[in-house]
Chain A
Amino acid sequence: MARQEKKKDVVIVGLGWTGSIAGIELAREGLDVLALERGHDQATVPDFKYPNQIDELKYGVRLKMMQKPSQQTLTVRRNAGETALPYRALGSFLPGNGVGGAGTHWNGLNWRPQPEELRLRSYVTENWGEEIIPEGMDLGDYPVTYDELEPFFTYFEKVAGIAGKAGNLNGQIQEGGNPFEGWRSEDYPMPPQKTTYDSAKFREACLAAGYHPFQAPAGIASTAYVNPYGMQMGPCNYCGFCERFGCYQYSKSSPQTTILDALKMMPNFEYRTESEVLRVEMAADGKTATGVTYWDEKAQEEVFQPADIVILSSYQLNNVHLMMLSGLGEIYNPLTGTGTLGKNYAYQMNGGVSMFFKDAEFNPFVGHGANGVAIDDFSVNQNDFGALGFIGGSYWRSGTFNGQPIRNMPLPRGTPSWGAGWKKGVGEWYGHAMSIGSHGSHMAYRNNHLDLDPTYTDRHGRPMMRMTFDWQDNDLRMNEYMKSQMEPLAASMNPDIMQSGFKGIGAHYDVRPYQTTHNTGGHSMSEAPQDGVVNKYSQTWKAHNVFAMGAGNFVQNTQYNPTGLLGGLAYHTVNAIRTQYLSNPRPLV
């Protein structure tokens, strides 16, 4: 018999970026808000303090900030003919764990999507016709436009404290910014970051080639800053420990540095850690939820938490899994085309070129996760899809980050992987290599999807989620195009040695090497209930008092890191709850 707790107005599942945004905005409305967090509590002090956080083995390699597969994981197969097996040890993607979620250990790369990416199907059909859309690709429009989201992108950037230079202010192109970005109503809240040596070389090469370089936007403070919630950030000291680490000096944008301390001071907000939500409970009529049941790790018992509004804001994979276990939608079946939950799963298509300069000193440990100069000359709105034979694009970036030697030891191809040759290689090349990365879009496909595994269960006895995912030719062709364009640019910089790392046609998904924690879709947004799981306000079509936030809302993935888009969508959602839903709870579409 589950313990029952006192009813709350709002229960939030997962206290990362979107949970913290929902928490503070709804608590400011005067609602009684409870956040349930599966993991442990963690704060800048004492959890991320210097020097303990500066530990590559513990956090970078043993991944002690991440979700433990022993606690929660999923199974993976590349196609319907393969037997899915558990993702037993983390590799390809790293879901976070604990308060702050992935917002604690990210790199701080904060981008808005291009307006065209949010209406990609229309953009493609208007310019090239429906016939260029490959068989099996589920190309869609988001049910919300860039113009509608613009104020919410701006507000999220103010809260998160993003450093950058506008390239398009109300339609006016700005010198030094990204000329291909969507319009912004205001410049970034902080000036852009400094340029390291590798970025400077890249900028010079880009200018010579006629491209349009700009300092990458960074969720890394460039100055002292106070955000709209009164949270204070201090300028980054380029310690180099961003990705996989908590920031020890209040410089990296995270729920901890930008929201949580303000939120925790509010008497109508409460959070409980080590409280893993097992399912959303539905009312007898099946049209609303009554609350959630969670596992209280400390008490070792199930607890029913009644609430009027349920906000699902855990990591994308966990949100989708929880919705499947709760009946919050019909699970997608690619054979019959029925169901939408688990559909539109997408990832990211990345590649890059490494360059070795034996006489250059790059000091790769000096940097931050969003360091670098970027270009958008090969981005979605710059590519002629009809002529190029693919739909998509990428942004390119060069800048040292995370230059710690266990994980980041680029060596010229042909260097032995061990022995005297390896030792000579690390002595010769550490600090003398730089790279350019291509960070590319990933479309949604009929064959890439999520459902429940028939064999494996989690520690609560629930079926695990199953991922069916492999690379598709459209995105691989995009990657090959980027390679063909990036290699000449890299060569123009006259490195002593250069080498490319781009997946090509025929590549299959490999769960072992880290790729990116940009898992998207699965509870995607749609104009109509038959096409998705939530409406434009992240409100589930199934139950109007359940809202599902985060990158699970994506229709297909953009070419950028997802945080800027999911932050904007989260503010758009809570604004709709505040201004439209609370006064009259109902389906908003």
Chain B
Amino acid sequence: MSHHPKYPNRRGFLKASAAGVALSGIASAATAQDAMPLPALEDYSPAYLKAEEWAFVMAATARLIPSEGDGPGALEARVPVFIDLQLAGDYGTADDWYMEGPHDANADFQLGWQSPLSPAQIYRAAIPAFDTWCTETYGVAFVRLDAAQQDEALTALQAGDVALDAELRDFFTILLANTKEGYFADPMYGGNHQMQAWSYIGFPGARAAYREWPERHNIKYPLGPVSINGERA
């Protein structure tokens, strides 16, 4: 992790301070990722997703935001952890949405969400349905396809060329939206690990104080991001 030389980071301060040991409990929130290394993605125990669903989300998000090229991929950003935690929470269960019937899942798309299923239920039902299509088309499940085939399968899914029940038709839309959310949301939600996605695009995160900046025209803001919990990148 890099930091601006004018602003010593918390870890540097603690290293230089005789009180470092005594303060470590207080500092733990600010340096959670340094103090408590997160389990490798392979060792993460999902809160909602079952093993085969987790494997699918790992494989699919790795294609939606691949690791190659500049910037983190979905796996480096730990997007699958974000998705799992979101599905385990009130987004997954559609707590805020009106979910009473009657439902017309075949309604015009422009009338919005009309599935009787919550996002978590859609992941649960759509992953095996999509895998059935992958098996019929390629002979193996999605996770066993090579990268080019996975891209092809996801392209078909996005285009509506994979026959899914109407109540699952928003699956690709929410999978992609959740992937991008996990890439760019505050790291406290499990993704955007070490604010890598913010650093990559130049978004300063929770700094939220730019009093002297509106009239500094055409000058790139120089400071890296901070998170809500106070980490710096």
Contact = CB atoms under 8 A, between A and B. Distances in A.
A510 B111 CA distance: 6
Nearest to A456: B100
B6 interface: no
Contacts of B206: 51, 54-55
B211 A431 contact: no
B189 interface: yes
A85 B214 contact: no
A69 B97 contact: yes
Interface residues of B, number: 61
A300 to B, nearest CB: 19
Contacts of A431: 201-202, 220
B213 A238 contact: yes
Interface string A415-437: 00111101110110011000000
B2 interface: no
B138 interface: no
A54 B228 contact: yes
Contacts of B186: 55-57
B211 A55 contact: no
B220 A361 contact: yes
A83 B107 CA distance: 9
A56 B184 contact: yes
Nearest to B73: A423
B210 A419 contact: no
Given A405-B198, A418-B176, A512 B110 contact: yes
Nearest to A53: B208
Given A51-B206, A54-B228, A406 B65 contact: no
A420 B69 contact: yes
Interface stretch (A5-13, A193-201, A319-327): A193-201
Q: Which of B70, B176, B200, B210 has the most CB of A within 10 A?
A: B210
Contacts of B220: 361, 363, 431
Interface residues of A, number: 67
Contacts of B63: 418-419
Contact of B113 (A88, A365, A426): A88
A360 interface: yes
Nearest to B172: A418
Contacts of A54: 205-206, 208, 228
A70 to B, nearest CB: 6
A52 interface: yes
A70 B99 contact: yes
B228 A55 contact: yes
A85 B208 contact: no
A50 to B, nearest CB: 7
B209 interface: yes
Contacts of A89: 94, 96-97, 112-113
Interface string B167-191: 0000000001001110011100100
B154 interface: yes
Interface stretch (A60-68, A205-213, A282-290): A60-68
Contact of B69 (A50, A87, A406, A424): A424
Nearest to B213: A366
Contacts of B158: 417-418
A239 interface: yes
Nearest to A61: B181
A26 to B, nearest CB: 34
B201 A426 contact: yes
B218 A85 contact: no
A164 to B, nearest CB: 16
Given A57-B186, A431-B201, A420 B66 contact: yes
A243 to B, nearest CB: 14
A419 B64 contact: yes
A200 B70 CA distance: 32
B91 interface: yes
B95 interface: yes
A382 interface: no
Interface string B59-103: 000011110111101000000000000000001001111111010
Interface string A539-555: 00000000000000000
A222 to B, nearest CB: 11
Interface in A180-194: 193-194
Contacts of A510: 109-110
A352 B76 CA distance: 35
A577 to B, nearest CB: 36
11 contacts: A56-B184, A57-B181, A61-B181, A68-B97, A77-B111, A78-B110, A85-B107, A239-B209, A365-B203, A365-B221, A423-B71
Given A89-B94, A404-B184, 19 more contacts: A57-B189, A69-B96, A70-B95, A76-B111, A87-B98, A88-B99, A89-B97, A193-B214, A239-B210, A240-B208, A240-B210, A363-B213, A365-B203, A366-B214, A418-B64, A418-B158, A426-B201, A427-B200, A431-B202
